[in-house]
């Protein structure tokens, strides 16, 4: 089912059965999302708008996080994207369920994503995981804390191996983490604070631990 939302924008409605009780029955892009969508679709030639499916899925997820506190992509929002991009809904479902970064069910207020691939594992990601579980009140990967604040997910390589181990919170990378820095971060999030992302040890970008070793301008 479908209709037109505020301002004439397309709004999809979706029949929800018992097994899909968490799924909303309708979705419409808000003004902030519409402004972003207009810029994105304008980048593609006529007839090639389907190439914008990944950016639009991100827009949905961020709008849901902004509006509801849970950043995820409901099925009905996928239908809205399909209509907007003139593509079969199944094609949108395929993309949304293929990529790990799209959440297809509700998550906690903060999404704790632990990289468990080799560089992060060798640099202590198990300690980061243990801290997430103890400080966040989480049983393991896939769990959401009882207070709804945290969801814990294992992710594949985040592409910042030189600053391993990495803990991604929502869209932000927290780098060079260990058990204690992870606990401090989670406790700050519980207080509603958002510490600056980046290296926990003050590393400059991807420079060696301890600072630049070459081209420093010194004679040593």
The answer as to whether 42 is a domain residue is yes
Domain contains 10? no
Residue-level pLDDT at 15: 42
DSSP state of 116: -
Instruction: Record the tokens describing residue 47, joined without a space.
Output: 């007839």
Quick check: is 40 in a domain? yes
Backbone angles phi, psi at 37, to 5 degrees: -60, -40
pLDDT at residue number 207: 82
Q: Do 138 and 90 sit in the same domain of this protein?
A: no
Q: Domain check: are 51 and 114 in the same one?
A: no
User: Rounded to whole angstroms, what are the CA distances from 60 to 71, 95, 101?
Assistant: 8, 14, 12
Residues written for the chain: 220
CA distance 158 to 77: 27
118 lies in the same domain as 171: yes
Q: 163 in a domain, yes or no?
A: yes
Domain span at 83: 31-98
Per DSSP, helices labelled H in the chain are 31-41, 53-68, 75-85, 89-98, 118-122, 125-136, 179-190
User: Exposed, middle or buried: residue 90 (CB in 10 Å: 0-12, 13-18, 19+)?
Assistant: exposed
Residue-averaged pLDDT of the chain:
90
pLDDT at residue 131 greater than cutoff 50: yes
Confidence of residue 209 (pLDDT cuts 50, 70, 90): confident
Closest C-alpha among 185, 162, 187 to residue 172:
185
Point out the annotated binding site for [2Fe-2S] cluster.
Answer: 115, 120, 157, 161
The answer to whether the CB of 70 falls within 8 A of the CB of 108 is yes
Distance CA 107, CA 61 (A): 11
pLDDT of residue 220: 52
DSSP state, 196? P
Question: How would you class 156 by CB atoms within 10 Å of its CB: exposed for 0-12, middle for 13-18, buried for 19 or more?
Answer: exposed
Contact 177, 130 (CB under 8 A): no
Predicted confidence band of residue 216 (pLDDT cuts 50, 70, 90): low
115 part of a folded domain: yes
Q: Per-residue pLDDT tens for 9-52?
A: 445 544 444 344 479 999 999 999 999 999 999 999 999 999 99
Q: Do 158 and 127 share a domain, yes or no?
A: yes
CATH code, 89: 1.10.10.1590
Distances (CA, A) of 116 to 40, 154, 210: 33, 6, 25
Going by the annotation, the residues of the binding site are: 115, 120, 157, 161
Verify that 92 and 151 share a domain, yes or no: no
pLDDT digits (tens, 9 = 90+) for 59-84: 999 999 999 999 999 999 999 999 99
Q: In which band, very low, low, confident or very high, does the pLDDT at 219 lie, cut at 50, 70 and 90?
A: low
Whether residue 79 sits in one domain with residue 42 = yes
pLDDT score recorded for residue 18: 39
Out of 71, 98, 125, pick the residue that ends a domain.
98
């Amino acid at each position: 089912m479908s209709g037109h939302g505020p301002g004439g924008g397309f709004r999809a409605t979706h029949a929800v059965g018992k097994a899909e009780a968490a799924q909303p029955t309708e979705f419409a892009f808000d003004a902030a999302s519409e402004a972003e969508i207009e810029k994105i679709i304008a980048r593609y030639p006529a007839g090639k708008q389907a190439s914008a499916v990944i950016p639009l899925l991100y827009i949905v997820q961020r709008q849901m996080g902004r509006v509801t506190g849970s950043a995820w992509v409901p099925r009905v929002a996928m239908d809205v994207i399909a209509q907007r991009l003139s593509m079969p809904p199944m094609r949108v479902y395929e993309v949304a369920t293929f990529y790990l970064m799209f959440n297809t069910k509700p998550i906690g207020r903060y999404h704790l994503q632990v990289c468990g691939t080799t560089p992060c594992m060798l640099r202590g990601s198990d300690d980061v995981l243990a801290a997430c579980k103890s400080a966040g009140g989480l049983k393991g990967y896939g769990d959401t804390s009882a207070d709804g604040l945290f969801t814990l997910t294992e992710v594949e390589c985040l592409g910042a191996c030189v600053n391993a181990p990495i803990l991604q919170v929502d869209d932000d990378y927290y780098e060079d983490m260990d058990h204690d820095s992870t606990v401090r971060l989670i406790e700050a999030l519980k207080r509603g604070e958002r510490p600056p992302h980046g290296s926990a040890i003050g590393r400059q970008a991807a420079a060696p631990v301890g600072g630049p070793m070459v081209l420093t301008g010194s004679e040593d």
